[in-house]
Amino acid sequence: MTRKKILVIGANGFTGRRILDDLSHNVSYQTTGCSLHDDICPHSGDYRFIRTDICNRQAVKKLFQEVQPDVVINTSALSVPDYCETHHAEADAVNITAVEHLAECCEAGGSRFIHLSTDFVFGGDTDRPYTEEDIPAPVNYYGYTKVAIEENMRWYARLGKLNYAALRLSLIHISEPT
């Protein structure tokens, strides 16, 4: 049986860790986690962990050459809106440029790219749930960075070069089994 190779970027974060743990217990997947820092929960599942700075284009290329993923799930982000407001260059590097590195490698290797975005791309000025047809109108710099990378990925996809999905999440709640 050929196992699908899945690479979880941001595997030390709240969402990334849960995705990595869940996928690593499925025998259909060969799962690799990646983060800027060492694994925070070593031996919590059947996965490989590679410490990588996704802001470094060469490091990302090396990661993709080593893993050769079928699917890449990007949960990484500089996601503190107040911090992003005063650190634009750092927010751009993590939320835009690093994601471009990932998208380029996905395109080159034929990997499906699943990017976790945010509802911060919207202003919150409606009384109904947003849909993918709604026009983004971010009210902070964090939301701006997420809109910018979504637009870049749509452009790559229109050129037929990127197989991707962007998920705009609002509130993430993980219930633990009882």
Burial call 11-24: b when 16+ CB within 10 Å, e when fewer: bbbebbbbbbbebb
Bridge partner residues of 167 (DSSP) = 116
C-alpha to C-alpha distance for 49 and 84, rounded to whole angstroms: 28
C-alpha to C-alpha distance for 70 and 93, rounded to whole angstroms: 25
Give the phi and the psi of residue 33 in degrees, each rounded to 5: -105, 150
Q: How many CB atoms lie within 10 A of CB 145?
A: 28
Q: 142 an active-site residue? A: yes
Q: Specify whether the CB–CB gap between 51 and 91 falls below 8 A.
A: no
Residue of 29, 47, 141, 142 marked catalytic: 142
Angle between helices 98-109 and 57-67 (to 10 degrees): 30
- Among all residues, which ones are annotated catalytic? 142
